[in-house]
């Protein structure tokens, strides 16, 4: 079947984004993870997740193109260029300065994996707690980490992405099992009972979920490190 899950082969390009890696593993994006254009990525996100091509995704797609010297295409690995979209204090990848900012890292993922104990779901409150805990831990592991307002917003959006795509787009409540399969296997948890949201993820739903995360995250967040001014790396 066209959208069957298939593990990537040794020559397939994969990167730091569990969402896009998953779409490639299911053939919504080219399975080789290469030659991706802005329209291709926006269509794949809509088809796979009912995620509308709203501003934040259009911007992400355009920044994806800045992550490479090509003017037309990017690959999933290109997205790992530090300082364009890729950033420190990820949920499931190490920092560039610590070695591998691309591949899934179970030790780092443990913070999210073990969050919201006693419940079988994650929500905006637990997501913000995870972001705060990752920052506390990573400041010890990587004292030079970059943590400006840009990273604050990127991280908040990414957490809203996994909650919205794997859970209820209105409430931001997502079953743990679904989120774990997305990160750990880069697979759509169809066998586990996940279904593509019938309600589109749009500015209203995502704005609500990300807004709740930002309020809770910001209560314990301040910029830190030597770099205090947000910046975007414009080319490799
Ligand atoms: C992280 C790119 C759409 C989920 C990332 C990162 C990049 C990226 C470069 C790495 C940031 C980092 O953690 O350092 C993109 C682009 C997109 C896109 C270019 C579309 C134009 C999506 C979608 C989802 C998603 C639709 C839905 C599940 C995530 C999550 C992370 C992430 C959860 C955080 C991973 C972590 O912290 O370990 N994305 N992404 N992304 N992305 Fe995407
Ligand atoms: Mg990162």
Cα 82 to middle of ligand 1, angstroms: 13
Residues with CB under 6 Å of ligand 1 are 16-20, 41, 45, 49, 51, 57, 60-61, 64, 79, 85-87, 90-93, 158, 161-162, 165
pLDDT exceeds cutoff 80 at 23: yes
pLDDT for 115-151, tens place per residue? 999 999 999 999 999 999 999 999 999 999 999 999 9
What is the structure's pLDDT at 25? 98
Number of C-beta neighbours around residue 94 at 10 A: 19
Cα 220 to middle of ligand 1, angstroms: 23
What is the structure's pLDDT at 228? 87
Q: Please provide the average confidence, as pLDDT, over all residues in the chain.
A: 98
Mean pLDDT in residue range 163-167: 98
User: Helix, strand, coil shares of the chain as percentages rounded to 5?
Assistant: 45, 5, 50
Phi and psi at residue 22, in whole multiples of 5°?
A: -65, -45
- What are the residue ranges spanned by the domains of the chain? 18-218
pLDDT for 84-108, tens place per residue? 999 999 999 999 999 999 999 999 9
What is the structure's pLDDT at 226? 87
Mean pLDDT in residue range 179-191: 99
CA distance linking residue 139 with residue 124, whole number of Å: 23
Cα 44 to middle of ligand 1, angstroms: 14
Q: Which atom of ligand 1 is nearest to the CA of 64?
A: 19
pLDDT exceeds cutoff 90 at 1: no
Contacts of 15 (CB under 8 A, 6+ apart): 21, 33, 75, 76, 77, 78, 79, 80, 102
Write the DSSP symbol of residue 201. B
Smallest CA separation from ligand 1 atom 40, residue: 17
What is the structure's pLDDT at 9? 98
Mean pLDDT in residue range 33-50: 98
Helix, strand or coil for residue 221?
Answer: coil
Q: Which atom of ligand 1 is nearest to the CA of 87?
A: 14
CA distance linking residue 235 with residue 228, whole number of Å: 21
ipTM value, please give it: 0.99
pLDDT exceeds cutoff 80 at 176: yes
Mean pLDDT in residue range 143-169: 98
Helix, strand or coil for residue 128?
Answer: helix
Can you give 57-76 as a three-state secondary structure string?
HHHHHHHHHHCCCCCCCECC
Correct CATH for 18-218 of 3.60.60.10, 1.10.10.10, 3.40.718.10, 1.10.489.10? 1.10.489.10
- Give which of 163, 236, 160, 167 is closest to 195, Cα–Cα: 167
Cα 95 to middle of ligand 2, angstroms: 6
Q: Which atom of ligand 1 is nearest to the CA of 41?
A: 21
- pLDDT classification of 57: cutoffs 50, 70, 90: very high
- pLDDT classification of 182: cutoffs 50, 70, 90: very high
pLDDT for 207-234, tens place per residue? 999 999 999 999 999 999 888 899 999 9
What is the structure's pLDDT at 76? 99
Q: Which atom of ligand 1 is nearest to the CA of 104?
A: 38
- Give which of 189, 183, 135, 136 is closest to 162, Cα–Cα: 183
């Amino acid at each position: 079947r066209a959208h069957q899950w298939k593990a990537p082969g040794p020559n397939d390009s994969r990167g730091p984004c569990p969402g896009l890696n998953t779409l490639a593993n299911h053939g919504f994006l080219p399975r080789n993870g290469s030659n991706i254009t802005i329209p291709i990525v926006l269509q794949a996100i809509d088809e796979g997740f009912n995620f509308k091509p709203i501003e934040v995704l259009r911007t992400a797609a355009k920044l994806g193109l800045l992550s490479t010297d090509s003017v037309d295409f990017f690959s999933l690995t290109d997205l790992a260029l530090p300082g364009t979209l890729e950033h420190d204090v990820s949920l499931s990848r190490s920092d560039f300065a610590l070695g591998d900012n691309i591949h899934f890292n179970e030790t780092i993922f443990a913070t999210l994996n073990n969050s919201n104990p006693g419940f079988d779901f994650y929500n905006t409150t637990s997501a913000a707690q995870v972001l705060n805990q990752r920052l506390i831990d990573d400041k010890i592991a990587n004292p030079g980490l970059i943590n400006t307002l840009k990273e604050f917003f990127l991280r908040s959006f990414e957490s809203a992405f996994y909650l919205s795509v794997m859970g209820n787009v209105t409430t931001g409540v997502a079953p743990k099992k679904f989120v774990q399969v997305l990160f750990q296997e880069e697979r759509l948890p169809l066998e586990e009972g996940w279904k593509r949201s019938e309600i589109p993820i749009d500015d209203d739903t995502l704005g609500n979920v990300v807004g709740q995360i930002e309020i809770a995250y910001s209560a314990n967040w301040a910029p830190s490190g030597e770099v205090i001014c947000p910046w975007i790396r414009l080319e490799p």
